[in-house]
Amino acid sequence: VRYPESHKAETHAKIVAAAARSFREHGAEAEGIGAVMAGLGLTKGGFYRHFGSKDDLVAEAVAVAFEEISERLVRIAEAAPQGRALQAIVEHYLSREHLEAPGSGCVLAALAAEIARLPVPVRRRIGLSIRAYRDVMAAYMPGDSLDERRERFGVLFPAMAGVLAAARVLEDDSARERMLAAARSFFVDSFAAATLG
Amino acid sequence: VRYPESHKAETHAKIVAAAARSFREHGAEAEGIGAVMAGLGLTKGGFYRHFGSKDDLVAEAVAVAFEEISERLVRIAEAAPQGRALQAIVEHYLSREHLEAPGSGCVLAALAAEIARLPVPVRRRIGLSIRAYRDVMAAYMPGDSLDERRERFGVLFPAMAGVLAAARVLEDDSARERMLAAARSFFVDSFAAATLG
DNA sequence: TGTACATCAGTGAACGCGCGTTCACTGATGTAC
DNA sequence: TGTACATCAGTGAACGCGCGTTCACTGATGTAC
């Protein structure tokens, strides 16, 4: 079978996108290459025409996942009323929709502990994605300098990720909602209020 | 081989303690029964004299891990100067020692995402441990009612867990320390300052 | 008191299974002549 | 224009491995008679 010029790049992107979703949903360790490929109607043998190893896919999938959540939060921030960009980000991040859709949500909330266990070279590649994410979001953080805004990002986003991950642990739906609501008002008061006049 | 009366309970406790450590270090999914048993000089065949399934062990190990961290934080709070119990808790939780010792540290930081994926019955059992942990720590939270203190626990502890997990992702040691330091001062200012007169 | 038997924590081999990875092969198309 | 060959994304079977789980067995001790 001979495929058109662009075919390989398209398949590669599809594999990464599918992995980005299922790794966040089921864990990168738990989800196998075979399952990802089968989800695209492909067989796992073909995987190695696209990636050197599973770790390569993990690194690419995590990078894409960071780009996805970054773009989404920027869209939400830009759509928010004047001066309420960060508030909109916090409220979306700690929303029930985000809680219930880990596959399209924040990587940190879904995979932080697993990423911390990855080999150093993979973590280094992922570090680039995290810093890119941070620098995009820093624009919406309060602070007089870039360093200050980065530092606040480094508290707010991991903290929200922790709350989201903990809320996902709870079995009771109303307990989840109470936890998210308390965190929303806390983080809006602590961070977003400062960006208002 | 006939063993003394207390032998079985002791072995059971040793398995749970070893699992509590290695599950937090390597992930509960990634760490096998065989490895836990071998670490105690036992063979994996004997595992099923003590537990019905791996999920049973996970539930018991997580419960014990919550008790461990709970007792440790209480000890630290009780040793702190008058009115500085919560500050001491925050500073210990977000310390370099805690960062570098996931095996004896907070379960939430190490396993939240994995626990969220466990079958509901297992999560229900773990829910009991979390609520016990919460009610012990609530005593050190600011607030006029138990409900208020519980609600604050539900923001502070998951948030700190998220920061700790994110700091463990970073490869650079000084970046880790900067993230922890920023979070320490933020959480002390936001929560612990309120408990001072 | 002495003997036969029951107990049961732990052993070690086996089970089916899915994993990541490798590799000889396929076959529609593009290229060379 | 027609034929022979090269390309290479994807296939499917196989690899060694470790997993969770099962099970017949061991053997030192306690108990029954």
**What is the rounded CA–CA span in Å between residue B134 and residue B123?**
16
Q: What share of chain B is helix, strand, coil (3-state, %, to 5)?
A: 80, 0, 20
Residue A49 identity: R
Tell me the angle at which helices B107-116 and B146-169 cross, rounded to the nearest 10 degrees: 90
Contacts of A63 (CB under 8 A, 6+ apart): A125, A126, A128, A129
The minimal CB distance from A154 to the residues B126, B168, B182 is found for: B182
What chain B residue is nearest to A162 in terms of C-alpha separation? Answer: B162
Q: Which nucleotide is nearest to B47 (CA to C1')?
A: C10
Measured CA to C1', the nucleotide nearest A12 is D9
Please check whether residue B153 is in contact with residue A67, taking contact to mean a CB–CB distance below 8 angstroms. Answer: no
B residues 21-40 closer than 8 Å to A (CB): 26-27, 29-30
For residue B85, give Cα distances in angstroms to A137, A190, B89.
Answer: 34, 22, 6
A55 touches A122 (CB < 8 A): yes
* Token output for A154: 């480094």
Check if the beta carbon of residue A28 is closer than 8 Å to that of residue B30: no
Q: Are A179 and A167 in contact (CB under 8 A)?
A: yes
Token pair recorded at residue B173: 């040691």
Given this model, what pLDDT does residue B197 score? 47
- The two structure tokens encoding residue A10: 């398209």
The predicted pLDDT at position B194 comes to 67
What is the rounded average pLDDT of the residues B126-142?
Answer: 98
Write down the pLDDT at residue B151. Answer: 98
Q: Token match 């070279």: residue? A: A121
Cβ-defined contact of A157 to B165 (cutoff 8 Å): no
- Burial class from Cβ neighbours inside 10 Å (0-12, 13-18, 19+) for residue B196 reads exposed
Closest Cα in chain B to A121: B171
Q: Give tens-digit pLDDT for A76-118.
A: 999 999 999 999 999 999 999 999 999 999 999 999 999 999 9
Q: What is the pLDDT of residues B9-58, one digit of tens each?
A: 999 999 999 999 999 999 999 999 999 999 999 999 999 999 999 999 99
Q: For chain A, which ranges sit under pLDDT 70?
A: 1, 194-197
Predicted TM-score of the model (pTM): 0.96
Cβ-contact B159, A180 below 8 angstroms: no
Q: Would you say B142 and B86 are in contact if contact means Cβ atoms under 8 Å apart? A: yes
Q: Which residues contact B55 (CB under 8 A, 6 or more apart)?
A: B118, B119, B122
Tell which of B133, B134, B169, B180 to mutate to test the A interface (max A CBs under 10 Å).
B169
CA neighbor of B143 nearest in space, from B94, B73, B192, B187: B192
Return the amino acid letter for B101: A
Q: What token pair was written down for A77?
A: 């921030």
User: Which residue's structure tokens are 């008058």?
Assistant: B82
